[in-house]
Amino acid sequence: MDTLRGLLAESPALLVSNPVNISYLTGFTGTAGFVLVTGDGAFLLTDFRYLEQAAEQAKGFEIVDVGTSVWARVAELLGADKLAFESEHLTVDAYRKMEKELAGVELVPVASPVAVMRRVKSEKEVAAIEAAIALGDAAFEHILGFMEEGMVEREVALELEFFMRSRGASGTSFSIIVASGARSALPHGVAGDKRLERGDAVVLDLGCVLGGYCSDLSRTVFMGDVGEEARQVYNDVLAAQQRALLGLRAGLTGKEADALARELLNGRGFEKNFGHGLGHGLGREIHESPRLSPASEEVLAEGMVVTVEPGVYLPGKFGVRIEDVVVIGEGGCRNLTGSTKELICL
């Protein structure tokens, strides 16, 4: 808690309402709760349904039964006339109730300092992410032997989810993407009713939640054979990713990291065909800070975990995306993803 208190320069107390941040701080996985951090106290406030669970999971926190009003309990525990809260999460309705019941307390909206803490991962967190990535790698290996012409995209997505859940995942980290043929040019082409056809490019984007941490993996494979244009685009995307992997390191801004891949693709005529950023942080959520994009001035630091996922999308024809997850180091990055990037025709 000392690290968190050190980030509260303007306020003696913080109310944490984002469930992901609550779980990060306490280990509590219930669906109803708040964390209150004061100068000398750390409280997890929840209701009757979760008191026993909270006591078991949130070691080092005083567990408080909210009773009929969480805001009344906050008022009792606060002991200060100023309270910071997570502005990006608390609803307007909750804010109005808090304002009413905490009359006389100055409410200060802040960008969550917990999110700042989460940007750099500990060795334990990196190990948890690696385990989730390994399960995603295994799912990709499995699906290569499962996919065949005539199969519906949804069947492939369902098989991927079943494989990961049956091996310990608590769920998928996002809606699995299986986009084939012209649909592969949709960057977020969630699996639909299209059947896989010979010659299709198939973009697979999958991830799971294991031990509270996410994985993310994209690969593009081809059904039966691959045309010369698609082969060249695949090689261009792979070259762009390899350039980024070689250049990523602590000290770069998100904009500079993105340029590592974008400059190569722009030079090969794809200025209008790579419309998303190079990558994003991931951890307890699939999209976290930092962002690797043309607009990002965030500075990469050792211990940040980010995706590296350049893509080229040719509307009406096909798309290609290749994605790995890396941990940033001082002089480079370490790739946590093990799946092959050889061009595969099934």
Helix ranges, the chain (H): 2-6, 19-26, 51-57, 70-78, 92-101, 113-118, 123-144, 153-165, 228-247, 254-267
Instruction: State pLDDT tens for residues 248-303.
Output: 999 999 999 999 999 999 999 999 999 999 999 999 999 999 999 999 999 999 99
Delimit the domains of the chain by residue range.
2-118, 123-335
Asked if pLDDT for residue 105 goes beyond 70, the answer is: yes
Percent of the chain with pLDDT over 70: 98
> 184 or 111, which is more confident?
184
* Burial class for 248, CB neighbours closer than 10 Å (0-12, 13-18, 19+): buried
Query: Rounded to an integer, what distance in angstroms lies between the CA atom of residue 208 and that of residue 261?
Result: 26
What band does 143 get if pLDDT is binned at 50, 70 and 90? very high
Predicted local confidence at residue 4, as pLDDT: 81
> 80 or 281, which is more confident?
281
Query: Rounded to an integer, what distance in angstroms lies between the CA atom of residue 293 and that of residue 300?
Result: 12
Q: Write down the pTM of the prediction.
A: 0.93
Predicted local confidence at residue 2, as pLDDT: 66
Instruction: State pLDDT tens for residues 49-79.
Output: 999 999 999 999 999 999 988 999 999 999 8
Instruction: State pLDDT tens for residues 153-188.
Output: 999 999 999 999 999 999 999 999 999 999 999 999
Query: Rounded to an integer, what distance in angstroms lies between the CA atom of residue 173 and that of residue 120?
Result: 20
- 345 residue type, one letter: C
Q: Are 258 and 277 in contact (CB under 8 A)?
A: yes
Query: CA angle 59-97-11, nearest 5°?
Result: 55
Q: Are 114 and 4 in contact (CB under 8 A)?
A: yes
- CA neighbor of 238 nearest in space, from 218, 224, 254: 218
CATH class, range 123-335: alpha beta
Note the Cα 154 to chain centre separation in Å: 23
Q: Which H or E element spans position 327?
A: strand 324-328
Predicted local confidence at residue 12, as pLDDT: 83
Instruction: State pLDDT tens for residues 208-248.
Output: 999 999 999 999 999 999 999 999 999 999 999 999 999 99
Asked if pLDDT for residue 125 goes beyond 90, the answer is: yes
Query: Rounded to an integer, what distance in angstroms lies between the CA atom of residue 254 and that of residue 252?
Result: 7
Q: Which H or E element spans position 177?
A: strand 177-180
Q: Classify domain 2-118 by CATH number.
A: 3.40.350.10
